[in-house]
């Protein structure tokens, strides 16, 4: 009789670096990313039989990783709300971007993560796998156990919601810009 550990190792070990990259792109904090990875590995372990039977186990593992990262971001935001606001961020490492670039990047990241935090879970999962992880629609559909058309709708709705929440519009296919209050201005 085979033990479940070799199956788990065969499924997860080759993907650990991809899992961490997916989580890192969302969490952007070392400790939070490590915790989210452990949470994802725990979830994969608990669901190892279902993961092994899944038609696309890699996509499912990435979905579990994205969900763990998403949960870590929400948990971090809740914790920060309870703590005293206004504390300065840690000093940037040597060799990092300039202070204004770092502040702008952190501000944008915080706004995007907050906006994603307000999306329904399936929209957030689809958007993160497609927009952040750049996974193909077919793989996302397999991971989410739905059709490609449904995934495309989730991604489209997530993009619209993020654009509304962040106050920006996407460029039009004809090269024009759809910005608020900029009609007819060159």
| Domain ranges within the chain, ordered by starting residue | 4-80+104-166
Mean of the per-residue pLDDT values for the chain? 78
Distance CA 177, CA 120 (A): 28
pLDDT, position 143: 87
Tokens of 170: 């996407």
Q: What band does 86 get if pLDDT is binned at 50, 70 and 90?
A: very low
Structure-token pair, residue 74: 């929400």
| Sign of the Cα pseudo-torsion (144, 150, 155, 160, in order) | negative
Which pLDDT tens digit goes with each residue over 90-125? 444 555 466 677 777 777 767 776 777 788 989 988
Beta bridge pairs of residue 177: 171
Selection from 71, 89, 78, 82 nearest residue 33 by Cα: 71
- Across 110-140, b (16+ Cβ under 10 Å) vs e yields eebbebbeebeebbbbbbbbbbbbebebebb
Percent share of the chain, pLDDT over 90: 27
Q: What is the pLDDT of residue 157?
A: 93
Give tens-digit pLDDT for 17-42. 999 998 988 888 888 899 999 999 99
């Amino acid at each position: 009789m085979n033990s479940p550990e070799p199956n788990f190792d065969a499924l997860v070990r080759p993907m650990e670096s991809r899992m961490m990259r997916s989580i890192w792109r969302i969490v952007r904090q070392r400790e939070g990313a490590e915790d989210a990875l452990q949470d994802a590995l725990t979830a994969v372990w608990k669901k190892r039989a279902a993961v092994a039977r899944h038609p696309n186990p890699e996509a499912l593992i990435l979905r579990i990783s994205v969900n763990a990262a998403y949960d870590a971001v929400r948990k971090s935001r809740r914790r920060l709300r309870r703590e005293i606001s206004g504390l300065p961020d840690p000093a940037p490492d040597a060799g990092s971007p300039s202070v204004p670039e770092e502040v702008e990047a952190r501000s944008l990241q915080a706004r995007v993560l907050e906006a994603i935090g307000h999306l329904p879970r399936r929209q957030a999962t689809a958007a993160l796998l497609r927009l952040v992880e750049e996974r193909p629609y077919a793989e996302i559909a397999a991971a989410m156990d739905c059709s490609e058309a449904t995934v495309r709708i989730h991604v489209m709705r997530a993009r619209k919601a993020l654009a509304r929440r962040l106050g920006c519009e996407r460029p039009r296919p004809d090269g024009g810009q759809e910005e608020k209050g900029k009609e007819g201005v060159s």
